Each structure stands twice: as structure tokens, then as C-alpha cells.
Structure 1
Amino acid sequence: MPALPAPRACVAAIPPYVPGRTPTPQPGLTVYKLSSNENPYPPLPGVLEAATAAAAQLNRYPDMGCTALYEALATRFDLAPERLAAATGSVALIYQILQAYCDPGDEVVHAWRSFEAYPIAITAAAATSVKVPVTARGEHDLDAMVAAVTDRTKVMLLCTPNNPTGPALTDSQVRRLLAQVPSRVLVVVDEAYLEFVRMEDAVDGAALLRDFANVVLTRTFSKAYGLANLRVGYAASSEEIAGALRAVSLPFGVSGIAQAAAIASLGAEAELMERVDALVEERSRVLTGLRAAGWQIPDAQGNFVWFDLPDATGEQTAAFAAAAERAGIVVRPFAGEGVRVSIGEVEANDRLLELASRLR
């Protein structure tokens, strides 16, 4: 048999992405999906109308330059449009960053456990993943991350708040790290859950961009803004970095519907923060209840909580997930490590608290 075309060797090594599972219907029981960190609220006021109007142009290509979206983001965050790059969610920007900056064998330093897509994107770029274990509290070990930098390091990924463990980095911590990392290393501050952060000395992305030329911020409309189905995110950085990300982007990647919905979402800031504040309040209620039940839950600065269940067999995580499903909530288990549970509807959160009390 003749030889068939072979993909790059790195393709076979790409770990699979495991999405949050959709609930299986249960007779007589409302089931809730708490496995994907989705926003439980519907689109913000005016967003559905803007998306519907844009859908009337389905026969036309979207604005590849995302002109109106960049203008809206530039106004909202006081940045020149040339310093922005849009893509299909912030995860696509991670892929573009690695494609633009990593040659085969270059190293990418990141915390672990952290965002599941990092090793996938790194391997797809034929780069080398350098995983630095998080601390016992689920936090980035920044000293160890700095120590992991070598002459081959091209990129460092900082996930804040860290998905799935929950803690966020402070501005002081990030600045100390940037002072120690060579300026040739691109430092990515992944802020997918930015709007949910409530802590002193929170990362000041705008100031970081002013003070460090090797920083890029990645953000998304999927979480707080509730546009997960439309896939739109953006990066903010220097003009040079943003230009590199645009150069490797998929032509017409961000649909016109997604652009219109994102712009409308930016115009509903007051309603956005009302919803985010309500979710943060629920997060506090859940955290208090879980800790009162005896669980040692790390600080939660995203829209989720983390149950640390280290077990080489994975039996604890599987048992927790199965018990949750029987209670009508689907969670995200990471076999042998822990379980992440999104903050959802009040009823769903109540079920989580009741379940956690029984399992403790």
C-alpha cells in the first residue's frame, strides 16, 4: 500500500480538549449545567436585537478588520485600535500568540493545573510545554515560573483568575515577575474572568501595557458578557504584538453577528455589572457554605469554585461528578485532581451546597 500523507509529529501528541458535558434530562427534575463556566443569564439588553439585525447579512462576509468592534473597544478601554486584535474567543488568541512567536522546540512556561487548552495549543505549535505546579492553595508559583525560564523560553502564560482552581494574581505579583523575566519573553496575562475579580491590588492591565512592552492581555466576551456561543475575544498589547496576532489570524474569523453582539454588549455596561455583581454575591454565598461544611476551597475570583480531590485513581472525582449528576447538576471533573463547579442559578447553587454537605 502506498504511503499516505503524514501530519506533523506533534499532531499525534496533542492532548484532547474535554468540554463541559451537557446534562442528561431527568424526569421530574430541572437539570443544570455547571461544567463550562457559562453565564446563566440571557444576552444583555439590545444584544439579541443587534445580532438579529446582523444576521440579515448572512450572505455577506463580515468586516475582516473588525473596524467597529475595535473602535468600541478602543473607546471603552482608552487604547488605540492598532493595539487590539480580535479572534474567536480568547482561546483563539492563545493559539495565534504561539503561532506568531514560537518556533518548533521553543518553550512556553505556564502554571498547572491551569487552562486545559494551554498544552493543546502549545503542542499544536510544535513548542514545548513547561508546566509549573500550582501551590497547595491553587495559586501560581511565580518564583518557580521565573526559575523555569531558559534561553529557549519564548512565552509565559499567566491565567488570572486561574482556571480551574480560582485564585487571581495581584498587580504587585505580576510586576515583580515582569521585572525578573527577560523582555524577550512574551508574557500573556489571560484575563478571561476579569470582570469577576474582587480583591485588593487586582491586576491593572492598562498600567501593565504602559509599563511593559512584552505584555499582552487576552480577554473574552464568553464569560461575563454571556456570548459563549458566538466566540469573540480580543487581545490588547503593543502595536507590534497586535500586528503579529492579526497577521496569523484566520481571515473573516469573527463573524458579523459576533461583532455586532460584542459592540452591543459593550453598550450595556450598567446591566452587565448588575449581573456580574449578582454572580459574585452568589459566589460568596457558595464559598461560605462550602467552607462551613468543612471543605477547603481555594480563593475563588472567577465564576466557579474548585474542589481539590487529589487521587491517583480518579475515583474521588468520578464519585463526586456522579453524585452531582444524580442531584441534577453536571460539574467538570479533572480525573485524579479535582472538580470545578460553575456558579449558576440559585437553585443549582443550593443543590451544590446540599450535595457538598452530604459528601463531606
Structure 2
Amino acid sequence: MSLTRPDLDALPAYVPGRSVPGAIKLASNEVPYGPLPGVVEAVTEAVAGVHRYPDMGVTQLRARLADKLGVDADRIATGCGSVALFEHLFRVACMPGDEAVYAWRSFEAYPIIGATTAATSVRVPNLPNHAHDLDAMAAAITDRTRIVIVCNPNNPTGTAIRRADLDAFIDRVPSNVIVALDEAYREFVTDPEVPDGLEAYGDRPNVVVLRTLSKAWGLAGLRVGYLIGAPEVVAAVRKVVTPFSTSAPAQAAALAALEAEPEMQRRVDLVVSERARVVEAVRKVYPDVPDTQANFFWLPLGDQSAEFAAACERAGVIVRAFQGDGVRVTIGTPEENDAFLGAI
């Protein structure tokens, strides 16, 4: 007799990007330029007080984010990365048997989060160009649907949805269904037609925007994410957030990073420039690489994905294979990217 839920036996575990000593890691969508100025000093100072609990309300950080985003602080919840906030959002929205609709392939944590809340995942296959099939996603909504997730740009394919298409889709979603816009890679978007979810839909009570400081802001090792939504949704999320889950060093680091926005933008610009160079070069070998608005790109290699990743590893470059679907490659420094191009 099992001591754990038998329905989880078939659930795949989350697979992080691998680190191999001596190899170049292009597997985890990290920005390669180190912590932003002031972050190490802020963390060092905060560590001296780790015998005390952190501010559970994350008051300073929420106020700083509210000022930056132009919203009231009661519309913001923070957590251990945006993925944790997705867990909390599912907990407050879904009862067992309720449905969550999302594209596939998309962020691999979605089915895990759905299963752990006993929600039913409704995966809608991506279009041939590897973007969300919004018409099919809208058609998949039923009276049991509680959440629809739009990952924009999409992880792992890098594809992005433009304003007119997203407007039309959100208009089709019933008002009693939460539209969760996963904008973990928002800072890397350069296409002016790809909307800022908060600016475009922040006035809609059923739209929730989730973002992270792990990527562009360089805090992957400290895990700080935030959610913006209607006050009643945010209040419910904050009720179920794991107490003290945003540590004191993480809060201090986030505040310091937000003060270094010009440097963050400079680094993002470097990534975007390299993105254009690398994708152009890769397409000479693999012409089917879709356009990307993230800090990574997608190689739709199907059953050859694992073999490709293994060959890259033998050349000293670690990429992220999604068995049977494709390979995601993070944009690194120019030298790291050149090593990848040499490998292929």
C-alpha cells in the first residue's frame, strides 16, 4: 500500500538544466554576466541578520515594485520565483477536477503544478510554427476551466503572441476564468507588437501577470518572483503563500537589483544583440529555428534532440533537450555562443 498519492507516480519530475564541471552551460536561461551592482553587498549585509525571520509581508519590495509598475501594493504578491506563485494561484483557483488550459509544449512545471493541486491539465498542441494555438485554446475552455495560461514569450520555444491576437483571445475567455500571463522573459521582448501584459490588460479583473527577477535581473540563485492582479485575487494568493518564503537576503537583493535597472537593460541589450547573431548563424545549419523574443531559442529536432544534446556535451557545451520535441539553447556570452556555433 502506497503512502503517497498513486496518481503522482506517472508525473515526470521537473528537470533542471544540467551543470557539468568545465563545460559551458547554455541550458537554464540564466543571464551570464553575474549579479547586478549592489546585489552582493546587499546580500552580505542581510546575511548578518539571518537569525531573524524576514519581513513576511515583503513590505519594502512590494512598495518598490508598486512604484515601478504604477499599481497599488495590494495588487502585488511575491514568492519563491514566479513558479511558486503559479502553485499558489492554482491552489486558490482550482478544486479537484477543475481544469487548467495551456499550450504544449510550454513551461514544464505547469503539468506538475496542476497535478499537485488535483487539477486536470488540458494541453493544447502548439501550431506548426511552435507558437500557441489561441483558437484551439479558446475552444478547449469548458465550464470546468478555472485557469488559462499564456506563456509570452513561450518557454521553451521563444515564440511570442502579438497584441491583436492576444486581445481577441482574452476577449473570448469567460470572466470567471483566470488568464495567467507568464511573462518571465518580458525584459527580452523587442517586438513592439508583443504587449506588456500589465499595461494592456491590467484593468481586467480576471487577468493575472506573473514575472520573475531570476532572468534579466540576475537573481536565479535567490528566487524572487511577483504576481500582479486584482486585489481580491492577490489577497487570496497571499493567504496561501508559504510563510517567510521570500528570504531576507532575497528581499535585499531584489531591492538592490531594481536600483540597477540601467545596468540590467545594458546586459539585456547585449543578450538581444547576441540572440540575433546566433539565430542567424544557426539557421544556416538548422533553418527551422522559429523567431524568438526570449533569451533562448528553440531547435525543433524531434527524436534527434537527445542525440544533439549529447553531441554538444561532448564538445563542452550543455544545452537542454526535451525528448521527442526539441532543444532549447540559452544565449550566453559571445565566447560561449561561439563555442556552441563551433559545436554544431
The TM-score normalised by the length of structure 1 is: 0.93
**How much has 1:170 moved relative to structure 2?**
1.5
Aligned residue for 1:12? 9
1:74 is matched with: 66
Q: Is the 8 A contact 1:86 1:233 kept in 2?
A: yes
Structure 2 match to 1:339: 327
Alignment of 1:184-195 (within 5 A): 184-195=176-187
- Residues 13 and 123 of structure 1 are in contact (CA less than 8 Å); yes or no, is this contact kept in structure 2? no
Q: Which residue of 1 aligns with 2:39?
A: 47
Give 1:9 deviation, angstroms.
4.0
Residue 135 of structure 1 pairs with residue 127 of structure 2 = yes
In structure 2, distance between residues paired with 1:41 and 1:89: 20
User: Tell me, what secondary structure is at the counterpart of 1:105?
Assistant: coil
Q: Secondary structure at the match of 1:108?
A: strand
Q: Which residue of 2 aligns with 1:198?
A: 190
The Cα shift of 1:11 comes to: 3.2
User: Could you tell me which of 330, 336, 342 is aligned with 1:348?
Assistant: 336
Q: 1:237, CA displacement in angstroms?
A: 0.6
Q: Provide the C-alpha distance between the structure 2 equivalents of 1:327 and 1:13, rounded to a whole number of angstroms.
A: 34
Task: Name the amino acid aligned to 2:106.
Answer: S
Q: Secondary structure at the match of 1:211?
A: coil
Distance 1:41 1:13 in 2: 38
Determine the C-alpha separation between the residues in 1 that align with 2:174 and 2:201.
16
RMSD: 1.2
Does 1:254 find its partner at 2:262? no
Match of 1:22 in 2: 19
Kept in 2, the 8 Å contact 1:93–1:235? The answer is: yes
How many Å separate the matches in 2 of 1:341 and 1:86? 28
Q: Distance in 1 between matches of 2:83 and 2:325?
A: 23
Post-superposition Cα deviations, 1:213-241, rounded to whole Å, max 9, x if no partner, equal 10000000000011000011000011011
- Of residues 208, 214, 224, the one that matches 1:232 is 224
Partner Cα distance (2:262, 2:13) in 1: 38
Which 10-residue stretch deviates more, 197-206 or 130-139? Answer: 197-206
1:265-280 aligned at under 5 Å gives the runs: 265-280=257-272
Gaps of 5+ in 1: 26-30
Contact kept, 8 Å, 1:209 with 1:237, in 2: the verdict is: no
- The secondary structure found in structure 2 opposite 1:218 is strand
Q: Partner of 2:306 in structure 1?
A: 318
1:145 aligns with 2:133: no
Alignment of 1:54-93 (within 5 A): 54-93=46-85
Shift of 1:15: 2.1
Asked if 1:103 corresponds to 2:95, the answer is yes
Determine the C-alpha separation between the residues in 1 that align with 2:198 and 2:172: 20
1:43-75 per-residue CA deviation (whole Å, 9 max, x = no partner) reads 111111111111110100000000000011011
- Cα distance in structure 1, aligned partners of 2:202 and 2:211: 17
Q: Secondary structure in 2 aligned to 1:52?
A: helix
Structure 1 letter corresponding to 2:14 = Y
| 1:28 alignment counterpart | none
Identity of aligned residues (%): 51
Paired residues in the alignment total 344
After superposition, the C-alpha distances for 1:254-274 in whole angstroms (9 at most, x for unaligned) are 001001100111111110100
In the TM superposition, residue 208 of structure 1 has moved relative to its aligned partner by 3.4
Say if 1:210 and 1:161 are closer, same or farther in 2 by CA, change over 3 A: closer
Distance in 1 (CA, whole Å) between partners of 2:7 and 2:64 is 39
Q: Is the 8 A contact 1:22 1:330 kept in 2?
A: yes
Structure 2 CA distance for aligned equivalents of residues 101 and 138 of structure 1: 28
For each residue in 1:79-115, what CA deviation from the matched residue of structure 2 results, as whole angstroms up to 9, or x when unmatched?
A: 1000000000000011111011000010000000000
Name the residue aligned to 1:308: 300
1:211 paired with 2:203, answer: yes
User: Matched residue of 1:277: which SS?
Assistant: helix
Residue 7 of structure 1: how far off its partner (Å): 2.9
What SS does structure 2 have at the residue aligned with 1:292?
Answer: coil
CA contact (8 A) 1:283 1:343 kept: yes
Match of 1:125 among 117, 120, 141: 117
Q: Does 1:283 align with 2:280?
A: no
Residue of structure 2 in register with 1:155 after alignment? 147
User: What's the offset of the Cα at 1:294?
Assistant: 4.2
Q: Measure how far apart 1:200 and its partner are.
A: 2.5
Contact residue 75 and residue 234 of structure 2 kept, 8 A: yes
Amino acid aligned to 2:170: L
Question: What's the TM-score once normalised by structure 2's chain length?
Answer: 0.97
